């Protein structure tokens, strides 16, 4: 589903990568491909000694929740899981 046409005015572009753009809006982080398709959106948090992340992949209807008792504990696992999801390993 392409939500960009409806929400584009709410997004702030933050970073461009290979074939997608990271944008911020509605208090969530959106990973958006150049054609406007939302790959996923997430909310994460970090505090002294802990981190957490919730990510939703709308095309696959997959939710990922990672909680860690380390400040940087969620980033390695979510990168691996993200690649598995976008590569279609859970279809």
pLDDT tens digits for 8-42?
656 666 677 778 877 776 678 889 898 888 999 99
- The pLDDT assigned to 28 comes to 81
Q: Please give the sequence-ordered ranges of beta strands (E in DSSP) within 1-91, or none if there are none.
A: 12-16, 20-25, 28-33, 38-47, 50-57, 62-68
Name which residue leads in pLDDT, 15 or 89: 89
In the chain, what percentage of residues exceed pLDDT 90? Answer: 57
Please give the pLDDT value at position 36: 85
- Alpha-carbon distance of 17 to 12, in angstroms, equals 15
As a whole number, mean pLDDT of residues 34-53 equals 92
Q: What pTM value is reported for the model?
A: 0.73
């Amino acid at each position: 589903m392409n939500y960009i046409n409806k929400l584009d005015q709410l997004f702030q572009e933050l970073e461009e990568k290979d074939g997608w753009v990271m944008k911020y809006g509605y208090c969530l982080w959106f990973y958006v491909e150049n054609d406007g398709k939302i790959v996923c959106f997430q909310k994460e948090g970090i505090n002294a000694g802990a981190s957490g992340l919730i990510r939703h992949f709308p095309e696959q209807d997959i939710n990922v929740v990672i909680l860690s008792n380390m400040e940087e504990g969620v980033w390695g696992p979510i990168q691996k899981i993200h690649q598995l999801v976008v590569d279609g390993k859970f279809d």
